Structure 1
Amino acid sequence: MSEQDNKRQFSIRDAVMTAPRLEPALYLVATPIGNLGDITIRALETLAGADIVACEDTRVTRVLLERYGMRRRMTAYHEHNATEAGPKLLNAIEGGQSVALASDAGTPLISDPGFRLVSQAQERGLRVVPIPGASAVLAALTASGLPTDAFLFAGFLPNRSGQRESRLSELATSPATLVFFESPRRLAASLAAMASLLGEERQAVVARELTKTFEEVRAGSLAELAEHYEAAGAPKGEVVVCVAPPLAEKTFDAADTDRLLLSLAGEMSAAKAAGEAARMTGAKKSTLYQRLLELKDAAG
């Protein structure tokens, strides 16, 4: 271990050992999404200084705490016991105690039941304190290369195909990058549905195992990604899918499209030219490819 690493370890231990007792409040503690080194000093101080540490799975959070030399008694708070556990946590805060709520990975309230607890805390007039940190949504979005000025986190798509298609239809015209969580076994089917309802040529990124050893960020059109994961089979690990917003509407008449196709064909293959033209015009790649062949034949 280098001298710099040693200093960092001592700094972390000092932060944990000297963490002050927290004021009564609900503290929302973001935890690493994979690499345990992504925890913040403030998060460690909060976990060390809170009277009660509540978490989805005590076994998962225990690994994190022990990594940084903490042994804390924890209480479970998850979707199956929220009705019973939530009021007890809020009563503890009203009684002068501090509660640190940690998710298994990432920021609490993002696709977990913590939002109920926050809503109930606010109804009682209790203080809620965010302790920011790792987020799979933001990690995937920033690594995707897709527009970040506006994005919409859509969580998990419905399991049933009809409901999934209905949800995608609602999102199809949203002028923002779409961000989804998805299970590995459903990935190929969901990408195929996205290609069908959002557009085959719409650009997307599949981010997998973020911050872990086998991290992967794969970019391509929705059609290309659907084809890849259908052939490769279900990947391992957690998956985030980012989909580019619809292209800004621009009217291309037949003459404009022909000129665009011929111009692109002078710089790339017919297939790539048709694909790029599809991206720019919103027309189908197969239709544009056929039209380009006709134009080439006409030109001799």
Structure 2
Amino acid sequence: MGLLYIVPTPIGNLLDITYRSINILKKVDFIITENIKYTSILLNQFSIKNKLLSLNIVNERKKTNQYIDILKSGNNMAIVSKAGTPTINDPGYILIKYAYHNNIRVVPLPGACAAITAICASGLKTNRFCYEGFLPNKKKKCETKISSLRKETRTIILYESPKRLEYTLKLIKKIMGVQRKITIAKEITKKWENIQRGTVEQLLLTINDNIYCKKGEITIIISGAKKKNKNIIPSRVFRIFKILKKNTSNTTAIKITAKICRFNKNILYNEIIKKNIL
């Protein structure tokens, strides 16, 4: 059995390729690529001579079985996409799934990915996020998709085309509100790299005044919806507690207040401690 390597390639700056990626691309028997012409430019840059095989959204199902047979015969193969990490919004998922079904070892290499690179520089929370790729082309489905993300509390990553950027931001404004914080990362790692942050309202004004904002590859990072605190205690509850504690102990006052106002006494106690009103 051969090995199937997942090899990320630069998303712009060719110097972002890793030494290990170059080494693997040189030594494998075949390189499977989404775009032969584009990958040839990269290989020539690093003096890599190897046989390229095609795998795209049109021929993926047809070619997968052929490539599995090549792997089963003992040949090592590497899969690359046009740019970035293979299978992230690109072909390759079916090939990798079939490789596992045939007990072929899959070896992933770390490397460039527009979504991860953009969120790192977004200034928004990165501990929890969801990746949604490209939004649907049809307007109704696009609107439905954004509506489904309105209450998402994780940071949201989207890819968008320059022609649809303004339309998408207007939809986000309409559905998620004018104050939703957004980062637009354009042409990441390239000469014209541009990262802009602000509310959706502010960014709409910016792209209207700057034609260059509507060009290039774009990643949109949207702040997650704020969680509603279900345990917010109204000020009247604290007023009741203050009245009761004048005539009884703090513990008893908390118990009675919690019972009257139908609040958990432990939550009420913690809030009273925070407000320093014991």
TM-score (norm 2): 0.80
Alignment-mate amino acid for residue 170 of structure 1: S
Output aligned runs, 1:32-111, within 5 Å. Answer: 32-111=10-89
Instruction: State the SS of the aligned residue for 1:144.
Output: coil
- In the alignment, is the contact (CA less than 8 A) between 2:29 and 2:51 conserved in 1? no
1:228 and 2:206 matched? yes
Post-superposition offset of 1:133:
0.3
Instruction: State the SS of the aligned residue for 2:188.
Output: coil
Give the Cα–Cα distance (whole angstroms) in 2 for the partners of residues 133 and 48 of structure 1: 17
1:240 corresponds, among 205, 219, 223, to 219
Post-superposition offset of 1:26:
1.2
Post-superposition offset of 1:253:
10
Give the Cα–Cα distance (whole angstroms) in 2 for the partners of residues 210 and 253 of structure 1: 45
Post-superposition offset of 1:227:
3.2
Q: Which runs of 5+ in 2 are unaligned?
A: 236-278
Runs of 4+ in 1 over 3 A off after TM superposition: 230-234, 250-255
2:123 corresponds, among 129, 145, 155, to 145
Larger radius of gyration: 2
Alignment-mate amino acid for residue 214 of structure 2: P
Give the Cα–Cα distance (whole angstroms) in 2 for the partners of residues 198 and 84 of structure 1: 41
1:204 and 2:173 matched? no
1:186 corresponds, among 164, 179, 189, to 164
Post-superposition offset of 1:254:
11
Instruction: State the SS of the aligned residue for 2:56.
Output: coil
The residue number in structure 1 matching 2:243 is none
- In the alignment, is the contact (CA less than 8 A) between 1:52 and 1:74 conserved in 2? yes
Change (3 A) 1:117 1:237: same
Change (3 A) 1:97 1:165: same
The residue number in structure 2 matching 1:118 is 96
| 1:169-210 deviation per Cα after TM superposition (whole angstroms, max 9, x unaligned) | 111111210000000000000011111112210100000000
- In the alignment, is the contact (CA less than 8 A) between 2:61 and 2:94 conserved in 1? no
Give the Cα–Cα distance (whole angstroms) in 2 for the partners of residues 254 and 217 of structure 1: 41
Percentage of pairs with the same residue = 32
Alignment-mate amino acid for residue 94 of structure 1: K
What is the number of residues matched between the two proteins? 233
1:160 and 2:165 matched? no
68-77 or 221-230, which deviates more: 221-230
Post-superposition offset of 1:228:
2.7
1:214 corresponds, among 187, 192, 197, to 192
TM-score (norm 1): 0.74
Give the Cα–Cα distance (whole angstroms) in 2 for the partners of residues 208 and 63 of structure 1: 22
Alignment RMSD (CA, Å): 1.8
Give the Cα–Cα distance (whole angstroms) in 2 for the partners of residues 192 and 226 of structure 1: 8
Post-superposition offset of 1:250:
4.4
Q: Which runs of 5+ in 1 are unaligned?
A: 1-22, 256-300
Change (3 A) 1:202 1:253: farther
Give the Cα–Cα distance (whole angstroms) in 1 for the partners of residues 93 and 159 of structure 2: 18
Post-superposition offset of 1:127:
1.1
The residue number in structure 2 matching 1:129 is 107
Instruction: State the SS of the aligned residue for 2:41.
Output: helix
Instruction: State the SS of the aligned residue for 1:96.
Output: coil
| 1:72-120 deviation per Cα after TM superposition (whole angstroms, max 9, x unaligned) | 2211111111122111111111111111000111000100121111112
Post-superposition offset of 1:231:
4.5
Give the Cα–Cα distance (whole angstroms) in 1 for the partners of residues 85 and 16 of structure 2: 12
140-149 or 81-90, which deviates more: 81-90
| 1:260-294 deviation per Cα after TM superposition (whole angstroms, max 9, x unaligned) | xxxxxxxxxxxxxxxxxxxxxxxxxxxxxxxxxxx
- In the alignment, is the contact (CA less than 8 A) between 1:188 and 1:227 conserved in 2? no
Give the Cα–Cα distance (whole angstroms) in 1 for the partners of residues 10 and 228 of structure 2: 39
Post-superposition offset of 1:128:
0.9
Give the Cα–Cα distance (whole angstroms) in 1 for the partners of residues 113 and 127 of structure 2: 17
